[in-house]
């Protein structure tokens, strides 16, 4: 018997029907040489602290940091979960082969592997890896089953992430709660949750500190076109009135009229984050709501796998595109022109190098039926985007008109659509504001003159905008950096905070813990959330950029380019340093509380820092030899075998012994000024880092 384990009962039912396991049993299907069972989310979880030591049940500073010698897993205490696990355990003991049919992503891999590990699976394991749940995709997947070992790195990354989150969450939450909470509440801290909250709090403080200023601008209307005076904003109404008087008795003269044709590139296909952003902007759906709707559409076989972070398709999908478009009969008015000619194999759409486990979210071609109005809106976004990427580019005309009144210069700009191109797909959805932007400016002639209607516009400087779920998701994707360009965003995804599939849950967690709240579409940090971030003095816990680098290392583990044990050791070291720093150095400044009572303080004393000698250090690469100095570099004393070295001079900077020690012991220096970068005219500042291959890089 071959045992298939799906991620949920509905998927198990579909698989069982297709492979002929049609007899229903308690907790599984059976037939045609197969048994098909299921999990429903996590059946197993990492053990809790008290599972390792009874004393770790109590929250005491003297026990921190809690670092188990080896991490273990256990079945979740729930009658339904334990019953289903027992069913799987019994089937595993009877089968000759397991086919892992779990969700085809990192979390799905982790869920299944933990269950199989706990069930003591000894038989060979195959992997069903599919991007949609259509019958065709499932049959094709069973014809091309993979060996489970091909996904060992994916499991390793999921395991490292889970252990990292456990380590930081358990220790930091206990540490700050005991040190500063004084029994008022649990101060929940997490690897992704806390930097996300820090982004919101920082924006909140910028808004609260903002003091608006009034300003005045001179404008004029000439031939039904509004022109802005090209001077600095005026600080007083008196100056504006004087300017207005100056303009009143003079003619307006056009000094130049320039039109340039340009193109608006097609939008990209959706990944999960961009879909969540768009649905929040257009329909006000939360990230969690969008994820639920698109997941439901996936389970109804209407769209492909949604928890993805790429906007590209694999090149082997190109021949299938016309068939999908033909099946989208509801959109035949839009697809008709595409199907009269071959679909172009655009590099902006098809690129194997930009696709890892899954491609972008697209329709499967199955006509939607039995879906909710909300699901229909999400499907419509996905369907139109899929059609739009194959349309011609949109051609536009960008117009700039310069004029003058006396000695004052004026300017007006406009954009007109010459050929709709891909915009035609969205013509019936166009908002009133967009329609007004398409209004064509009149043609002007250089040197023409005429009467005009000058006026004063009074305005007020505006504070930074509150985060919405759309802008917060983008900030998480780019580790807090403001990035508008699609190409740059694509490059930065490896360094984002969290994963596309987890960001919605992180935001929901912050809402549930009352750290943030929503007013209309705006996300506001609550006093509790602000107080928590103010309490955390350690920048490591709050840094979006650093969390992004951790996320990148997890992705490198997926690719087999970074060792999970190294990642875990880095986290262990960070947790130890954090614990000592908070216990010995930090005084409470938030939550209107004092430091924890004396009886909860640790009984250990901090040892004075000892001076570190460079040649006493262990080699960070091989860890079996010492560091030694050479003529032009420091390196491993067993260099012929290990190969580790750092030059004394890098990019025009001679490194001090302290900087070399930082680089070797911490993997990174403090900020260094004045690096000379080839091809750059100006010196650069940055930090030297040791990368995953033990080479020195500049950050």
In tens, the pLDDT along 662-694 reads 888 888 888 888 887 765 667 888 888 887 667
Say how far apart CA 394 and CA 434 lie, in whole Å. Answer: 15
On the question of pLDDT at 1 being above 80, the answer is yes
Say how far apart CA 8 and CA 23 lie, in whole Å. Answer: 18
Q: What is the mean pLDDT of residues 258-273?
A: 93
**DSSP structural state of residue 606:** P
**DSSP structural state of residue 284:** -
Nearest to 506 by CA among 18, 165, 43: 165
Is 305 noted as a catalytic residue in this protein?
yes
In tens, the pLDDT along 70-106 reads 999 999 999 999 999 999 999 999 999 999 999 888 8
In tens, the pLDDT along 361-382 reads 999 999 999 999 999 999 999 9
Nearest to 44 by CA among 93, 91, 78: 78
Minimum mean pLDDT range among 175-189, 219-233, 329-343: 175-189
Please report which confidence band the pLDDT of residue 184 belongs to, taking 50, 70 and 90 as the band edges: low
Strand-pair partners of 627: 636
pLDDT at 186: 83
Residues 6+ positions from 63 with CB-CB distance below 8 Å: 55, 56
Whole-angstrom CA distances from 491 to 54, 188, 273, 311, 483 are: 46, 31, 15, 12, 11
| Cis peptide bond upstream of 457, omega within 30 | no
CATH architecture classification, 272-388:
Orthogonal Bundle (1.10)
Say how far apart CA 551 and CA 494 lie, in whole Å. Answer: 7
Q: What is the mean pLDDT of residues 309-330?
A: 94
Q: Work out the percent of the chain whose per-residue pLDDT is above 90.
A: 62
In tens, the pLDDT along 525-543 reads 999 999 899 988 888 788 8
Residue with more model confidence, 648 or 637: 648
Give the fold, CATH level 3, of 162-208+465-600: Topoisomerase I; domain 2 (1.10.460)
**DSSP structural state of residue 181:** I
Q: Give whichever of 33-47, 472-486, 627-641 has the largest mean pLDDT.
A: 33-47
Q: Work out the percent of the chain whose per-residue pLDDT is above 70.
A: 91
**DSSP structural state of residue 72:** -
N-term to C-term CA, the chain = 54
Residue with more model confidence, 434 or 659: 659
Cα atoms found within 13 Å of the Cα of residue 264, Cβ hemisphere only: 18
pLDDT at 595: 31
**What is the chain's mean pLDDT, rounded?**
88
pLDDT at 258: 94
Say how far apart CA 591 and CA 631 lie, in whole Å. Answer: 55
On the question of pLDDT at 429 being above 90, the answer is no
Cα atoms found within 13 Å of the Cα of residue 246, Cβ hemisphere only: 16
**For 2-144, which CATH class?**
alpha beta
Give the fold, CATH level 3, of 214-264+394-460: Topoisomerase I; domain 3 (2.70.20)
In tens, the pLDDT along 539-595 reads 878 888 778 778 888 889 998 999 998 998 888 888 888 888 888 764 444 443 333
Q: Where in the chain is the domain with CATH 1.10.290.10?
A: 272-388
Beta-sheet pairing, 214-222 with 453-460: antiparallel
On the question of pLDDT at 58 being above 50, the answer is yes
Cα atoms found within 13 Å of the Cα of residue 622, Cβ hemisphere only: 15
Say how far apart CA 352 and CA 350 lie, in whole Å. Answer: 7
Please report which confidence band the pLDDT of residue 597 belongs to, taking 50, 70 and 90 as the band edges: very low
Q: Where in the chain is the domain with CATH 1.10.460.10?
A: 162-208+465-600
On the question of pLDDT at 631 being above 50, the answer is yes
Residue with more model confidence, 278 or 184: 278
Q: Where in the chain is the domain with CATH 3.40.50.140?
A: 2-144
pLDDT at 437: 54
Minimum mean pLDDT range among 82-96, 150-164, 427-441, 467-481: 427-441
Residue with more model confidence, 695 or 454: 454
Q: Where in the chain is the domain with CATH 2.70.20.10?
A: 214-264+394-460
pLDDT at 603: 37
Residues 6+ positions from 197 with CB-CB distance below 8 Å: 510, 515, 516, 525, 529, 532, 533
| Choice among 28, 34, 155, 305 that is catalytic | 305
Whole-angstrom CA distances from 67 to 166, 186, 352, 581, 615 are: 10, 21, 41, 17, 30
**Angle ∠(4,6,9) on CA atoms, nearest 5:** 120
């Amino acid at each position: 018997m071959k045992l298939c384990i799906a991620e949920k009962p509905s998927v198990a039912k579909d698989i069982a029907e297709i492979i002929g396991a049609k007899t229903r049993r308690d907790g599984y299907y059976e037939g045609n040489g197969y048994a098909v069972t299921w999990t429903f989310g996590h059946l197993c979880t990492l053990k809790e602290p008290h599972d390792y030591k009874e004393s770790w049940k109590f929250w005491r500073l003297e026990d921190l940091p809690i670092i188990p010698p080896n991490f273990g897993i256990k079945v979740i205490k729930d009658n339904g979960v334990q019953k289903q696990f027992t069913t799987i355990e019994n089937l595993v003991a009877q089968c000759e082969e397991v086919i892992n049919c779990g969700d085809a992503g990192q979390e799905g891999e982790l869920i299944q592997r933990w269950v199989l590990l706990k069930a003591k699976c000894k038989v060979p394991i195959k992997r069903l890896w599919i991007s949609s749940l259509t019958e065709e995709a499932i049959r094709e997947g069973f014809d091309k089953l993979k060996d489970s070992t091909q996904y060992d790195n994916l499991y390793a990354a999921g395991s490292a992430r889970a252990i990292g989150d456990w380590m930081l969450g358990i220790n930091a939450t206990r540490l700050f709660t005991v040190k500063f909470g004084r029994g008022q509440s649990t101060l929940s801290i997490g690897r992704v949750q806390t930097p996300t909250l820090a982004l919101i709090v920082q924006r909140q403080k910028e808004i609260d500190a903002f003091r608006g200023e009034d300003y005045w601008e001179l404008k004029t209307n000439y031939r039904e076109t509004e022109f802005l005076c090209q001077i600095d904003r005026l600080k007083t109404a008196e100056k504006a009135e004087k300017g207005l008087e100056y303009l009143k008795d003079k003619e307006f003269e056009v000094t130049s009229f320039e039109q340039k044709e340009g193109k608006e590139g097609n939008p990209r296909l959706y990944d999960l984050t961009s879909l969540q952003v768009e649905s929040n902007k257009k329909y006000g759906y939360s990230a969690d709501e969008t994820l639920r709707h698109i997941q439901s559409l996936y389970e109804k076989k209407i769209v492909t796998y949604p928890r993805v972070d790429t906007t590209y398709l694999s090149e082997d999908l190109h021949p299938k595109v016309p068939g999908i478009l033909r099946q989208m009969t509801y959109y035949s008015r839009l697809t008709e022109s595409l199907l009269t000619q071959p679909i172009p194999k655009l590099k902006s759409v098809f690129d194997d190098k930009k696709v890892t486990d899954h491609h972008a979210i697209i329709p499967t071609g199955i006509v939607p039926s039995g879906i909710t109005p909300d699901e229909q809106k999400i499907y419509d976004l996905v369907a139109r985007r899929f059609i739009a990427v194959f349309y011609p580019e949109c051609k536009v005309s960008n117009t700039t008109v310069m004029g003058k009144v006396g000695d004052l210069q004026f300017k007006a700009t406009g954009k007109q659509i010459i050929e709709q191109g891909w915009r035609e797909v969205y013509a019936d959805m166009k908002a009133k504001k967009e329609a007004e932007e398409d209004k064509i400016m009149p043609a002007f002639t250089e040197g023409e003159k005429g009467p005009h209607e000058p006026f004063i516009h009074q305005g007020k400087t505006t504070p930074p905008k509150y985060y919405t779920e759309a802008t917060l998701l983008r900030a998480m994707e780019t580790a807090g950096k403001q990035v508008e360009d699609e190409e740059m965003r694509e490059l930065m995804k490896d360094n984002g905070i969290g994963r596309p599939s987890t960001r919605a849950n992180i935001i929901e967690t912050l809402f549930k813990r009352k750290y943030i709240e929503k007013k209309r579409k705006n996300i506001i940090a609550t006093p509790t959330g602000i107080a928590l971030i103010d309490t955390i003095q350690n920048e490591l816990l709050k840094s979006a950029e650093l969390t992004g680098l951790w996320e990148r290392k997890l992705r490198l583990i997926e690719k087999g380019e970074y060792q999970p044990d190294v990642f875990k050791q880095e986290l262990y070291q960070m947790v130890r340093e954090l614990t000592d720093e908070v216990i010995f150095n930090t005084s409470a400044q938030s939550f209107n509380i004092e430091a924890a009572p004396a009886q909860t303080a640790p009984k250990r004393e901090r040892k004075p820092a000892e001076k570190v000698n460079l040649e006493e250090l262990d080699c960070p690469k091989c860890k079996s030899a010492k560091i030694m100095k050479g003529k032009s570099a420091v390196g491993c004393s067993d260099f012929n075998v290990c190969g580790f070295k750092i030059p004394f001079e890098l990019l025009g900077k001679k490194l001090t012994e302290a900087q070399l020690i930082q680089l070797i012991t911490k993997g990174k220096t403090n900020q260094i000024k004045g690096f000379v970068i080839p091809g750059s005219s100006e010196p650069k500042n940055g930090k030297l880092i040791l990368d995953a291959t033990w080479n020195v890089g500049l950050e």
